[in-house]
Amino acid sequence: MRIRIVDAFSDRPFGGNPAGVLLLDGSPEDSWLQNVAMEVNHAETAFAHPLEEGGEADWALRWFTPVAEVAMCGHATLATAHVLHSTGAHEGPVRFATRSGVLVATPCEDGSITLDFPTAPLTPVDVPDGVAQALGTEPLVAFDTGPNVGDLLLEVTDEKTVRSLRPDLKALGAYSARGIIATARAEDPARGYDYVSRCFFPNIGIDEDPVTGSAHTALAPFWSERLGRADLTGLQASRRSGRVRTELRGDRTLLSGHAVTVIEGELIA
């Protein structure tokens, strides 16, 4: 079968977040899916197979990190939609049946793809004891992001602080199911983004995720409330970096970005 590596939330190769994508005829055993994801060794590998016509979804979709299955993944969903559209396997909006419900990916005229995801419920919590030492800076506020995202969202002082973080990854794993989102307001919105973030997910085998769509379902409501706008652009300031356009629509968040296929090959295992 064909296997592809797609850089998501990027309009050029070697940017954004790489994801493995496999289009399957059916649903193999979980152990095989996990082994393939371990072999690909990117933040997520997406596995999709077509569903019968007339149902609520067109394709079934699952996501695996090198060590575990996850409940939601934005960049691998974007990558899968890109593969479906670029290969002609599906035309127009595609509905994915996932552990997080039906997620819709819609191609746009500019070549980008817009994902319709559930907005993460944000619950303010006390900044946990020890998290400042693990992160390397004192957070201003902390929010739980609910079961689908599973992160602790921490606002820090400024963009420079976000960019300079060198956290104790082993220690960070104690504070949430998946990991930590660190964020701050953009230093200069004239650069084309409204806020910055970085995401550390030691509990699922990802020290730092390059660009995280699911995290932006929490970042969108967080920053929309503070900045007074529903339409925003977030910059995830990892080494690869990438931008995610977000539009808050109540209990749904639209995430938009480009994707590009960089590797295509044959999986023979």
Task: Flag whether pLDDT at 269 surpasses 90.
Answer: no
What is the C-alpha R_g of the chain?
Answer: 18
Helices and strands (H, E) in the chain, number of each type: 7, 18
pLDDT, tens digit (0-9, with 9 covering 90-100), for 181-196: 999 999 999 999 999 9
Considering the chain, what percentage of its residues have pLDDT values greater than 90?
97
Q: Which residues contact 110 (CB under 8 A, 6 or more apart)?
A: none
The Cα–Cα gap between 91 and 87 comes to: 10
pLDDT, tens digit (0-9, with 9 covering 90-100), for 75-122: 999 999 999 999 999 999 999 999 999 999 999 999 999 999 999 999
pLDDT, tens digit (0-9, with 9 covering 90-100), for 198-236: 999 999 889 999 999 999 999 999 999 999 999 999 999
Structure tokens at 199: 């995401």
Angle (CA) 30-35-41 rounded to 5° is: 125
Q: pLDDT class for 158, splitting at 50, 70, 90?
A: very high
The Cα–Cα gap between 142 and 172 comes to: 14
What pLDDT does 100 receive? 92
What pLDDT does 126 receive? 97
**Alpha helix positions (H), 41-158:** 74-87, 131-135, 146-149
What pLDDT does 62 receive? 98
Mean pLDDT computed over every residue of the chain? 96
The Cα–Cα gap between 37 and 137 comes to: 33
Question: Which one of 44, 155, 159, 208 is the catalytic residue?
Answer: 44
H-run or E-run covering 247: strand 242-249
H-run or E-run covering 50: strand 44-50
Mark whether 39 is an active-site residue. no
